[in-house]
Amino acid sequence: PEWKELLMRDHETTEKVFDAGEKAFAAGKPDPSMVKELLRYFVEYVDGCHNKKEENHLFPLLEKRGVSRQDGPLGVMLQEHTRSKELLARLEPLADTYVGGDDSVLHELSLIYAEYITLLKQHFWKENDILYPMGERALSQADGDKVVEGIAATEAAISPDTRAHYYKLADDLMRWGEIEDLCHNLDHDTLGAILNTLPVELSFVDANDTVRYFSHENLPKIFPRTRGAIGMQVQNCHPQKSVHLVNEILADFKAGKREVAEFWIDMGA
């Protein structure tokens, strides 16, 4: 992958960790071991690895190619890195105290945690949406390869499997925080409206071959269907002569032998 994908994957992973921690704090008393691991992830990976990859490899090359540091985007990014380091330095002793069994610091700990993740979410957004695209325009392919090498070297200087190690830690934290899929907070009407807005028709058949859902119910469709289909076995929604093909495809799906079945229908137009 290119440097931009590598760095954005770090952001994406870290934002899930943010949410896991946020949920744990919102629920009241987070598990002290989780707080300890959260801090370890932020100190060792976000500050100690991700930011270093940018500061030592991406930013200097961008500056060389004309992206300004003083009063420019790089200056702002570096200030935010420094600010996030200061917040981490305040979080660490509070987390140690909390992990040591003193709950009196919990309120302050959660306030600074909120400040830290708010700062970094905005920071990541600026990098993803502004700085990285700017970087893609400013850097040649050879420049980009150099950044990728620098990223690999920064990770290798920590341990042979730095990224895998911390992505695994992030994964554990996500499970600990029980973060839900993004659609969790959407109601049915909103989800339905989203599906009906897609320029494709969707039908959903469950593991028992039962038709459970189709989109665009009251909208024009290429494949006309009505709610009478809901609850029917999918085999009964096809002409008798093609049922053996339908069953073959279903069997292959279930056996993991294929993931897609593509076919063309002559609509006579």
| Contact residues for Fe ion, defined by CB under 5 A | 127
Q: In the bound complex, what is the minimum distance in angstroms from residue 154's beta carbon to Fe ion?
A: 13
Q: In the bound complex, what is the minimum distance in angstroms from residue 50's beta carbon to Fe ion?
A: 6
Q: Which two tokens stand for residue 163?
A: 């990224």
Provide DSSP, 114-126: HHHHHHHHHHHHH
The closest residue (CB) to Fe ion is: 127
- Measured from the CB atom, the residue of 129 and 252 that comes closer to Fe ion is 129
Q: In the bound complex, what is the minimum distance in angstroms from residue 251's beta carbon to Fe ion?
A: 47
d(CA 50, CA 57): 11
Instruction: Give the residue carrying structure tokens 């049922």.
Output: 243
Alpha-carbon distances of 184 from 118, 203, 215, 258, rounded to whole Å = 21, 21, 19, 29
Q: In the bound complex, what is the minimum distance in angstroms from residue 124's beta carbon to Fe ion?
A: 6
Q: Which two tokens stand for residue 48?
A: 């100690």
Q: In the bound complex, what is the minimum distance in angstroms from residue 166's beta carbon to Fe ion?
A: 14
- Measured from the CB atom, the residue of 23 and 126 that comes closer to Fe ion is 126
Cβ neighbors of 229 (< 8 A, separation 6 or more) are 211, 214, 237
d(CA 47, CA 74): 17
- Measured from the CB atom, the residue of 8 and 106 that comes closer to Fe ion is 8
- Measured from the CB atom, the residue of 129 and 217 that comes closer to Fe ion is 129
Q: In the bound complex, what is the minimum distance in angstroms from residue 58's beta carbon to Fe ion?
A: 9
d(CA 110, CA 47): 19
- Measured from the CB atom, the residue of 19 and 127 that comes closer to Fe ion is 127
Cβ neighbors of 52 (< 8 A, separation 6 or more) are 154
- Measured from the CB atom, the residue of 127 and 155 that comes closer to Fe ion is 127
Instruction: Give the residue carrying structure tokens 């190619």.
Output: 65
